[in-house]
Structures are given as C-alpha cells and as structure tokens.
Structure 1
C-alpha cells in the first residue's frame, strides 16, 4: 500500500512515521526548498508525548526541553488565578518547535518514509491521484492533505465548510535564557485583551508569546513594540525587553469541514481542524489523529471505509478541543474591561473543578496508543 502526503509539518510527518511503521510505502511532499518548521516553542501534553513514544521520537523531541510542573495564570493585578492550569496530572514538556519537527522527520525516515522537498502540490482527486505543481500526476492508495489552513487538498475535493478568522493572534519569539529566569513552570499573564506567555523551552532559550485582539493595532506591530507590552505587563519587563526580531505575527483561524475524507483522499491537522493555540493542543490532536489513522488503516483492506471510521473516532475530541480553545481566546481577548474582576473569578472557579478542566483539555487526558479504543488518562 502506498501513501502520498502533501505537507511536511507536524501532522504530515507524524502520520508518515506511523504509516511507515505499519509497512506502508510513504512519500511526503514538502513545498519548501528545505524541511523546516517555522515557529518558536510548543507545548507537548501527555497525549502528544505518548504518540512520540509510540513512533520512537520521544527521546529526541524532549532532549534539552523543560518538564513543566505548573502552568501559572495571573490577571491584570498580578493575582495568581491558577498554578496547575489544565494539567490535572498530565505530563507537560515545553520544547523548541524546531526540535519537535526534527525528531518527527528523523522518526519518519527511520521507519522508511521518503521526504521530498521543493515539491508543491496543486490538487488531488478522490480516487487517489496527486497532482504536483510541476504537472506530474502520482497515483496512490491513499492521499493525505497535511497542507495547512489554506489546504489545496481540502479545497480540491470540496471538503471546506468554513475558514473563520478569529480576530485575534499572537507574536512568537525566542529570547536568551538567564540563570534567574522561571524554571519548571510556564507563566501566562492577562491584561485586558492582551496575554503574554513566558515558557522555558531549552537550557538556553525562553519562548515568549504576546497575544492581542484584532482591534489592538499597537500590539500587532511586528517585531513587537517592546514599550507597549512592557507598559501592559511591567512585571514581565525582564523578559519583554529581551525580545529581538526573530519571530513573526500570526492570526488565529478555525477550520471546519464537511468531512475529513472523500474516496481515497483525506485531510489532517490544520487542513481538517485548525484552531487557536490557546490550549497548546493544535499539534497534539494532529499527532493523535495521525497515529490513529495508521492504526485504523492497518485493520481495514478498504481505504474509504477505514477513513470513515477514523473520522468517527477522532473528530469528537478535535471538535471539543477546537471549541474550548476558541472560548478560551474569547475570554482572554473580548471580555468587557469593566468586568475583568468577574473574569478572574470565573478562571479561578474553573480551576477548582477537576472534572471541568479535564473536559476542557480532553485531548491531554486521552491516550490513543493503547489500541483503537481511546483510554482516559
């Protein structure tokens, strides 16, 4: 059986490694001239860590990363609202995004997958034909679109329902780490519609994210205007003043689809369920979906049947994660300024309910590596 994958990002490489380990002939098409991941840091929750273990990428991925014991949330008065936000016993590593990407690529190659760069695709057909921008046409038993929010695969087989601009976004930066910087925990500060995260990701780097609503034009300037952010978050001055022009601004989008597959073609990752990164689970649920796809295909001779079962198994968790991430963003960026104390009370109250936190971060507490029945963690 042969699979052609459009997109060499986190989702594409995870499913490539998982399929190759099941004996599939796999080729990944990356449009760029080299295989590289754009970004700064990334959260790896329990669900993602278990997939990394299952595809033999774990040790490399977390090498020199930070094991987080706490994720603190503080409000505009610097009051501590939560010290173990959304964790509930889950492991959490914060690592360099480039390190994760490298580990997945190496795992895919070790398993036998081929990765081709400078190979953009123009579309696919539902009967398993991939069309390259060069004009070449390639047949396969399975075509996978892991080609992002503006997926050519999704659009070419008519699966797009909506791509919604969530009207907020963030800048992501890496700064040099100092000996007295936060360790073993991540920080998130809220101030009106702005949020700043301080996340140690390696022995020498700290990941900063600065989030704001669409209406906050001063906050959108890239590279970040350090003064405007320091004025909002004076307690974080030691971190914010270290920002250099090594990041980029990115808006947040929700993607919803009529389905995840058609015939012998399917979509995965941001192509299927792009979401805001507020729960740190965009990559995690994509990695879960890639792993489960390989498991389901190993149990079916008929690819379209397997794809329908895969979607039925994975879509509920992805939908829930997308929804709660969107709600988290609205709470963080659109809450009326006159009612900020009420927001703080709501966040504090959510933290007192273990069952509600597990429901919000359901993906982190779902293990898909123990067979096709997802196991609560």
Structure 2
C-alpha cells in the first residue's frame, strides 16, 4: 500500500510514522525548503502520549520533557481556580522543536520519504495529490495534513466554515531559571488576558500570552511590549523580562475549521485541515496525533479503505468536534468576559470545575484513544486470507 501525505507538520509526520510502521511506502510533501516546527512549548495529555507510544516516539519525546504533577489555573487576584485537571492521567510538557524532531526521527526509522520544496495545491478523490509544479502523485490513500488553510481540503470542496475566533496568542521560549515552577504549570487570567508559565525542558520555559484581537497593546509581541504584560501580571515579571525584545514569537489569531466530511473518496484530512481549534485546552496537537494514529489503525485493520475511512470518521469526529467546542467556550470565558464582572467569573469557574463530572466533560479527550493496534499490511492480508478460507 502506498500513502501520499501533504504537510510535514505534527499530524502529517505522525500519520507518516504510523503508516510506515504498518509496512506501507509513504511519501510526505513539505512546502518549505527546510523541515522545522515553529512555536514554543506544547502540552501532551494521555491521548497524545499514547499516540507517541503507538509510533515508537514516546521515549525520545519524554527524555527532554517535564512531567507535570499540578496544572494550576488562577484568577485575576492570583487565587487558585483549579488544580485537579489531571484526574490521575499522565501529562507532560515539551518543546515543540524537540517533539517535531522526535516525530521526524520516528518517520525516518520507518523508511518514510520526505520531499521539501513540494507545495501541494490540490487533490482528487481517487487519492492523487497535485503539486505547484504540476506533478501528480497517485496513492492508495492520500492525506491532507496541510493545516488551517488546507489546499487539499478546499480543492475537494470539504470546507464549510473557517472562523476567526477574534482571540489569539503569542508563544515564547525563555531560558529556565529557579524562578520558574517545577513539575507544575501556571495559567492566570486578568481581564481578557491570559498568561501561561510552563516548564517544557530541563533548560527552557514556555510562556504563552493570549488576548482578544482588539487588545492592540497585548498583540504587540514582536517586537515584544513587556511593559503592558508586566502591568497585567506583575508576579511574573521575572519570566516576562526574559522574553527578548526581538522574540521569535508573535501574536497569531486562533481559528476553528468546520468541514462536511473528513474524507472524499480515498483522500482524507487530519489535524488542522479537518478540525483546527483554539489551543485553550492544550488538546489541538494531541487530538491531531490521535486521529492520525486512529486512521492508520482503521486502514490497516480493514480489507476496504472505503469502509475504514467511514469507521474512522465515525469513531473520532464527535470527540474532536467536542474538544473544539469546549476550547472555544473556554476561550470566550477567559477572553471576552466583561471586566466589571471578574469576581463573578471566578465564582462560576470555581463552582463548575469543582464538579468531577464537569472536569471529565472538559478533559474527556485525554481518556479517548482508539481500540486496536497498527497492523502490518502483510500480516493483515494473511489474517484476512485465513478468515476468507475459513
């Protein structure tokens, strides 16, 4: 079986490693001239960690990750709103570049071919990708992992809505010092602004700074306007002063993507191309990687790609859109709440998150992982033959 993938991001490389593990020939097209991941840090919840285990990348990833024991959420006066989001599951934070390199290594170990300077401009339902150079790449299964503004998705007419959430954030890496938390993450709200202090490696701390699109000063993150953020969060002066004036980070808007289907014929969508969401719950990448592994499980355990794609979508879509919805609501509560009613917001959040049922509803994706394992194509074919003969 041959697989063609558009996009060498987190979702695309996870899919590549998963299908490579199954014994498929896999080629990944990356539009850029170099393979790299932008951004700073990332949360890896239980579902994301299980996806990494499935493709053989877990040990490398966690070798430079921070195991989180307490993720704090605090309100505008510094008091704790929530510190029990884990609910006895694993949670790590890690630098995005390290995660990316680990996924790249896993894909290469499985013999995946990765082609740079190969922008994909479209696809057809028969599993063919087309590049800007006019070349066509037919496959048994084509995958669009080409992000929020996916050319694969749009060429297939699958997009329903691409929504600018009027919310966004900047991601920054700073040198880690003794002022930073250990085995803890801190997120704090003040008005429509949110700050996160997240240790993500032995020598780096990840800082996120979120604010609504109409917060002009808050959006000044490249070059970095430290003074306005120190005014909102003086207790984090140490971390904010370590963000360089000419930081690599920048404020970027959050989007939701809504599609009619996750696939058309034998071309499927994974990651942001199918269900881009705000990163407010730390689940966007975890869901993307989980769905990429789920796709490989479905395809390699079925005699029919058509049936596999249908069952894959039925098994994963409700969960993915639920996370997207909760993340959108979380962002509105944290960003759009009236300034004169912040105490009421704190009281509401405390009341809701004190409930185990509510915690489970918000963090349900961490508990969801597809049943079954990635099967080698040759082994799956032998099992199918035995079943047919029987």
TM category (shorter chain) comes to over 0.9
Alignment-derived partner of residue 388 in structure 2:
none
In 2, are the aligned partners of 1:35 and 1:117 still within 8 Å (CA)?
Answer: yes
Alignment-derived partner of residue 39 in structure 1:
39
Alignment-derived partner of residue 59 in structure 1:
59
Q: Does 2:185 match 1:183?
A: no
Query: Displacement of 1:122 after TM fit?
Result: 1.1
For the residues of structure 2 that align with 1:363 and 1:176, how far apart are their CA atoms?
31
For the residues of structure 2 that align with 1:311 and 1:277, how far apart are their CA atoms?
22
For the residues of structure 2 that align with 1:69 and 1:98, how far apart are their CA atoms?
23
In 2, are the aligned partners of 1:47 and 1:364 still within 8 Å (CA)?
Answer: yes
Alignment-derived partner of residue 290 in structure 2:
288
For the residues of structure 1 that align with 2:264 and 2:248, how far apart are their CA atoms?
40
Choose the corresponding residue for 1:310, options 309, 312, 317.
Answer: 312
Query: Displacement of 1:277 after TM fit?
Result: 0.1
For the residues of structure 1 that align with 2:203 and 2:297, how far apart are their CA atoms?
38
Unaligned runs of 5+ in 1: 373-377
Alignment-derived partner of residue 346 in structure 1:
348
For the residues of structure 1 that align with 2:88 and 2:165, how far apart are their CA atoms?
30
Q: Does 2:21 match 1:6?
A: no
Alignment-derived partner of residue 215 in structure 2:
216
Alpha-carbon displacement from aligned partner over 1:183-227 (angstroms, at most 9, x marks no partner):
110001100000000000111110000000111111001323100
- Flag as ranges the 4+ runs of structure 1 deviating above 6 A: none
Which aligned pairs between 1:310-329 and structure 2 lie closer than 5 A? 310-329=312-331
Alpha-carbon displacement from aligned partner over 1:152-185 (angstroms, at most 9, x marks no partner):
0000000000000000100110011112321110
In 1, are the aligned partners of 2:179 and 2:238 still within 8 Å (CA)?
Answer: no
Query: Please, what TM-score do these two structures have when normalized by structure 1?
Result: 0.96
For the residues of structure 1 that align with 2:179 and 2:78, how far apart are their CA atoms?
19
In 1, are the aligned partners of 2:144 and 2:268 still within 8 Å (CA)?
Answer: yes
In 1, are the aligned partners of 2:297 and 2:372 still within 8 Å (CA)?
Answer: no
Alignment-derived partner of residue 356 in structure 1:
358
Alignment-derived partner of residue 108 in structure 2:
109
Query: Please, what TM-score do these two structures have when normalized by structure 2?
Result: 0.93
For the residues of structure 1 that align with 2:267 and 2:102, how far apart are their CA atoms?
26
Of residues 136-145 and 362-371 in structure 1, the stretch that sits farther from structure 2 once superposed is 362-371
SS of the aligned residue for 1:217 comes to: coil
In 1, are the aligned partners of 2:44 and 2:91 still within 8 Å (CA)?
Answer: yes
Alignment-derived partner of residue 197 in structure 2:
198
Alignment-derived partner of residue 138 in structure 2:
139
Query: Displacement of 1:144 after TM fit?
Result: 0.3
For the residues of structure 2 that align with 1:118 and 1:371, how far apart are their CA atoms?
33
Count of aligned residue pairs for this structure pair: 371
Query: Displacement of 1:249 after TM fit?
Result: 1.8
Change (3 A) 1:21 1:369: farther
SS of the aligned residue for 2:34 comes to: coil
Unaligned runs of 5+ in 2: 375-390
